[in-house]
């Protein structure tokens, strides 16, 4: 019974929603990390910190997407 439940959870819509949730979480955490590192760790300007956060978050989203669909 348990193995059937695991298979049902990882196929179809449930797996797609889990993948998008993982991608979104990866993006937010990476962007937040880069913003905090730039802003407070390196004392960069707000504009520079936001720009780096967007770029780093986009790269993290691309990486997470490619890994989720591999």
Of 32 and 9, more confident: 32
Using DSSP's 3-state secondary structure scheme, residue 5 falls into: helix
Residue-wise pLDDT tens digits, 17-66: 788 999 999 999 999 999 999 999 999 999 999 999 999 999 999 999 99
Rounded Cα distance between 53 and 44, Å, is 12
Q: Which helix (H) or strand (E) holds 30?
A: helix 13-36
Select the more confidently predicted residue: 8 or 46.
46
Q: Which helix (H) or strand (E) holds 62?
A: helix 46-68
pTM score: 0.73
Distance CA 69, CA 62 (A): 11
On whether the CB atoms of residues 23 and 65 are closer than 8 A, the answer is yes
pLDDT of residue 40: 96
């Amino acid at each position: 019974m348990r193995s059937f439940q695991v298979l049902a959870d990882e196929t179809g819509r449930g797996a797609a929603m889990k993948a998008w949730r993982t991608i979104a979480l990866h993006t937010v955490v990476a962007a937040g990390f880069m913003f905090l590192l730039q802003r407070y760790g390196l004392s960069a300007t707000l504009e520079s910190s936001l720009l780096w956060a967007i770029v780093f978050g986009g790269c993290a989203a691309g990486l997470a997407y490619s890994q989720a669909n591999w």
